[in-house]
């Protein structure tokens, strides 16, 4: 399977009150942890999806600007799917510090030609750590023309079209999908996972 990867870092981080990418987690900024996880998947190319070029972007990581006007992850995923030359795209959000390399590799192993993998927790898709086939781009672009910019309806359409395969997540693996949106989320994670 040919694979590209994208770090989704286009949020405004209003609740965090600073750029989430630069928040320290276990002694390093989140962006470093997440890029390292993506590199371990050995993609042909790594992108960062953002509203503007972040100062922290490594020189070997290509910038993808959101399709204007920015509609959150929907815009970032649509733009990146349009830029890849591989069959699949591994997407990972900047704010999921507990995601592991092994779990991302498991997601990759479940993808097939023309079909990606969407993790599901309690029936709800987790679209910001998933594998998308290049063919999904047309559906993302179509949804950008409407007035509902949630990724959930896109995921349902992709599952119906057999472009995504649902993967149920249970037990301890659910923790991998915890995101940090505000300082207290980070404080709780730090307290819980003190090394």
Other CB atoms within 10 Å distance of the CB of residue 44: 11
Task: Decide if pLDDT at 29 tops 90.
Answer: yes
Residue 187 pLDDT > 70: no
Which DSSP state fits 194? -
Indicate if the pLDDT at residue 13 is higher than 60. no
Rounded Cα distance between 158 and 138, Å, is 10
pLDDT of residue 66: 76
Residue 16 has pLDDT above 60, yes or no: no
Residue 70: pLDDT over 90:
no
pLDDT of residue 179: 85
Of the ranges 16-20, 137-141, 147-151, 184-188, which one carries the lowest mean pLDDT score? 16-20
For the stretch 120-136, pLDDT in tens is: 999 999 999 999 999 99
Average pLDDT over residues 62-79: 84
The domain limits of the chain are: 3-192
Residue 71's pLDDT band (boundaries 50, 70, 90)?
confident
Average pLDDT over every residue of 167-184: 87
**What count of residues does the chain have?**
195
Higher model confidence: residue 176 or residue 184?
Answer: 176
Alpha helices in the chain (DSSP H): 30-40, 73-83, 101-110, 137-144, 151-160, 183-192
DSSP state at residue 80: H
Comparing 184 with 84, which gets the higher pLDDT? 84
151-173 average pLDDT score: 95
For the domain spanning 3-192, the CATH number is: 3.90.550.10
Q: What's the pTM? A: 0.90
What mean pLDDT do residues 149-159 have? 91
The CA distance from 124 to 113, in Å, is 24
Is pLDDT of 109 > 60?
yes
């Amino acid at each position: 399977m040919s694979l590209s990867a994208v770090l989704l870092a286009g949020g405004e981080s209003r609740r965090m009150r600073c750029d989430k990418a630069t928040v320290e987690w276990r002694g390093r900024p989140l962006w470093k942890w997440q890029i390292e996880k993506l590199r371990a998947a050995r993609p042909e190319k790594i992108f960062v999806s953002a509203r503007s070029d972040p100062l922290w972007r490594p020189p070997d990581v290509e910038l993808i600007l959101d399709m204007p006007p920015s509609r959150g992850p929907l815009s970032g995923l649509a733009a990146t799917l349009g830029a890849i030359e591989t069959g699949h795209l591994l997407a990972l959000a900047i704010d999921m510090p507990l995601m592991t390399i092994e779990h991302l590799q498991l997601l990759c192993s479940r993808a097939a030609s023309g079909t990606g993998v969407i993790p599901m927790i309690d029936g709800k898709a987790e679209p910001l750590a998933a594998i998308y086939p290049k063919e999904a781009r047309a559906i993302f672009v179509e949804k950008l023309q409407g007035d509902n910019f949630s990724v959930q309806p896109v995921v349902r359409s992709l599952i119906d079209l057999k472009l995504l395969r649902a993967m149920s997540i249970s037990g301890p693996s659910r923790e991998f999908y915890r995101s940090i949106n505000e300082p207290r989320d980070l404080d709780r994670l730090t307290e819980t996972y003190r090394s």
